[in-house]
Chains A and B, each alone.
Chain A
Amino acid sequence: MAIRINLDVMLAKRKMRSNELAKLIGITEQNLSILKNGKAKAIRLTTLDAICEHLDCQPGDIIEYISKT
């Protein structure tokens, strides 16, 4: 897929652990791991909103489009 998830980068920048963020945004660690590893098929706007709120970032900091060409 041409969409890259940079959640691990943002977590490192904010010095936050995955389980900590999962608790804050109210999803399971397993689901956060699916998102982090780029296995997710879709992301809810509410989840994105919560991630941006707690990591103090923009959606573009987490989701990046990589051109195939």
Chain B
Amino acid sequence: MDNISKIKKVSKLFNILLTGLMVAIPIYFISYWLFINSFSETLVAGSSISFDGAGGALTVRLQAIGFLSSLLPLAAIIYGLLNTKRIFTLYIDGIIFSDGHVILFKKIAKAFAFWVLFSVIHESVKSVIFSWNNTVGSRHLNITFGSIEFGVIIMSVLFLVIAWIMDEGRTITEENKLTV
């Protein structure tokens, strides 16, 4: 099997995997907000949000608000996955190095950056939702920018640098092609 065939084979596998993720992740988000009252408090809120015991099940309205706010990071994830899938589609078509790849890498970097922004918003909304049933004075709004967000920002910058290097490489390849 030659190199191109190997790339095509692996890309097909990843394409299927990414399609699966694009279906599974929204299902997870929907299930999370739909069955949130069935989960234990620590599982739902993690350790960042405290309950004072006065709370109870989330109302359908709070669940809906939570779900709507989760659509923001979900959109960023789907956008990132969609563009990653497009990169693998290019590989399947035998296109290994093109300006299309550069554009897609930049879009993935953008998806990472959007995810960080939307994730901070979503987590903040979540903190309000989860503490909504607390007694007055115990409700709170947590705005967190943790190591995960920082790591994703670094990833975003790395993808931008890779896209830039790929673009430069593409220019050099094009110049070599047009050298007689």
Q: Which A positions have Cβ atoms within 8 angstroms of B? A: 27, 31-32, 34-35, 39-44, 47
Segment at the A interface, from B15-23, B57-65, B172-180 = B172-180
Residues in A neighbouring B179, C-beta threshold 8 A: 40-44
Interface size class of B (residues with CB under 8 A): under 10
| CB contact between B178 and one of A27, A32, A40 (< 8 Å): that residue | A40
- The 5 A-B residue pairs whose C-beta atoms are closest, nearest first, are A41-B178, A42-B179, A35-B180, A41-B175, A40-B180
Give Cα distance in the complex from A44 to B179, angstroms.
7
19 new A-B contacts, CB < 8 A, other than A41-B178, A42-B179, A43-B180, are A27-B180, A31-B180, A32-B180, A34-B178, A34-B180, A35-B180, A39-B178, A40-B178, A40-B179, A40-B180, A41-B174, A41-B175, A41-B179, A42-B175, A42-B178, A42-B180, A44-B179, A44-B180, A47-B180
Q: Which residue on chain B has the smallest CB distance to residue A5?
A: B180
Shortest A32–chain B CB gap in Å is: 7
Near A by CB (< 8 A), chain B positions 134-180 give: 174-175, 178-180
User: Max chain B CB contacts within 10 Å: which of A31, A32, A41, A44?
Assistant: A41
Complex alpha-carbon distance, A40 and B180, angstroms: 7
CA distance A2 to B175 in the complex (A): 18
Q: Which chain B residue shows the least CB distance to A51?
A: B180
Tell me which of B175, B179, B180 has the highest count of chain A C-beta atoms within 10 A of its own C-beta. B180
CA distance A39 to B180 in the complex (A): 10
